[in-house]
Structure 1
């Protein structure tokens, strides 16, 4: 079985709730965070299958369409390609927050579905997020959990914590 690197999107891969962008509802709102291209390339080079698992309640709320989301993800792939970085697959929950669906994080279904589809062992994998629902989804799926960003604004108890994705990738490269 392969090992996986499951990444939340907003706040881990791209900017959200910044001066430049509030929410990512169209490709023009998508900006990679510093070091993300290099980090994902490092995960690729370390033999991880890299996946994005993202709640996209804006679809259910009518702020964007699934076609818009596809265009955003195409821009993400193009931006990452400039670093030689590759995302193997993307899972998203299009439902409204509090819809009670089985796929919205903190439920682990997106991670489990990708792991099954790509023959990935969650026990050898990581879930990286910037919020408590990401950490809880990773924990329930059986991954090692990694919180990126300011820990003082969270109640999440991840297995590891780093200021950003590149710092985590650098640490992992030394500890594999």
Structure 2
């Protein structure tokens, strides 16, 4: 990807848990939020390039009654502090069986985040750690990049349109600073 191509990236949207911060299932405690290695640097690079950044996250614990919307907001605020501030946070509070249009792998979160940022979904890149993240990107017409971790299934890696070994490499590819391109 050339620097010219990087200008066509209208925004980069990230999954939260397992991508930007350590995955603590159904976390409602801001004190447990830990940024993953390279996350702050990756976001700083994008902000420095003038590319808006946001989060699109499934938070089914709300719909399951395990955490509240307030818990999610407080955890997001703590992540925001650690990561230097993101431009938009959008999450799905519904349980997996709700059939909503926002829960990843459906496109609703990506479409809503793009709308709030004033960019077309097709001009967004979504980075996440599981197949649902890149599937949501594809469903919204965005590009998806999978950054596998211990919970990523081998078949998710095989099906991903693009992968990167870590978050910083994914962002450097978006900016044209590392070999490899975007899907």
In the alignment, what sits opposite 2:66? 63
List, as ranges, runs of 4+ consecutive aligned residues in structure 1 with deviation greater than 6 Å.
none
Deviation at 1:25, TM superposition (A): 2.4
Give 1:1-176 correspondences, 5 Å limit: 3-16=10-23, 21-81=24-84, 86-150=85-149, 153-156=153-156, 157-173=159-175, 174=177
Q: CA deviation at 1:49?
A: 1.1
Q: 1:120 to 1:2 in 2, by over 3 A?
A: farther
CA positional deviation for 1:24? 2.1
- 1:65 deviates by 0.7
Call closer, same or farther: CA 1:48–1:158 in 2, change over 3 Å: farther
Q: Distance in 1 between matches of 2:11 and 2:168?
A: 17
Tell me if structure 1 keeps the 8 A contact 2:130–2:153.
no
Gaps of 5+ in 1: none
- Local SS of the residue matching 2:119: coil
Q: For each residue in 1:152-173, what CA deviation from the matched residue of structure 2 results, as whole angstroms up to 9, or x when unmatched?
A: 7232322321122112122333
Q: How many residues align?
A: 168
Please report how far the alpha carbon of residue 122 of structure 1 lies from its aligned counterpart in structure 2 after TM superposition.
2.3
Distance 1:163 1:2 in 2: 20
1:22, CA displacement in angstroms?
4.6
Whether the 8 Å contact between 1:126 and 1:145 is mirrored in structure 2 is yes
Deviation of 1:118 (Å):
2.0
Cα RMSD of the aligned pairs, angstroms, is: 2.0
